[in-house]
Structure 1
C-alpha cells in the first residue's frame, strides 16, 4: 500500500510539496530515491533527523517503514 513522507520546514520548500505518498515498504535507500536529489543531499547530513511512525530514529539509515506509516523529515531546529 502506501507510506506518507512529510517534508517539514525548509525541506518542504526544497521538495515543493508538504507530503508525498510512496509504495510500502520503504528503507533508507528507497527514501533517498523517493525524495529527489536536493532533499536526499540534506537527509544525508547529520543535522537532519527522520521519524517513522512518531518515533525519531537514532539511526536513520535503519529506516524500515511499513504500510500506513508516516515518515517525517525533520530539519535542524533553530531558535533564539
Structure 2
C-alpha cells in the first residue's frame, strides 16, 4: 500500500474548501494527473518544494501534495490567470 493513500491526498487537497463549495479534487484521476504534472516539472528542472527521503520525482511530487506545498488549480482557474 502506498502512503499517503489517495483518500489521504484528497482530504489534504480539499481541506481548504469552504463548506458548500465544490471540492478541488473529486476523483483519484485528478490526484494522479496533478501529481504526474508536478513530477514532470521536477524532472524538467524545477526545484522540489520539500525535503524528501526519496529522490524519485513522483515520490517527491506526492510528498509535496501531501504537505500542501503544491496547490491544484482547475483548468478554468488556470486560464483566468493567464
* Superposition TM-score tier, normalisation by shorter sequence: 0.3 to 0.5
* Higher alpha-carbon Rg: 2
Higher strand content, 1 or 2: 1
TM-score using structure 1 length:
0.33
Higher helix content, 1 or 2: 2
Higher RCO, Cα 8 Å, sep 6+? 1
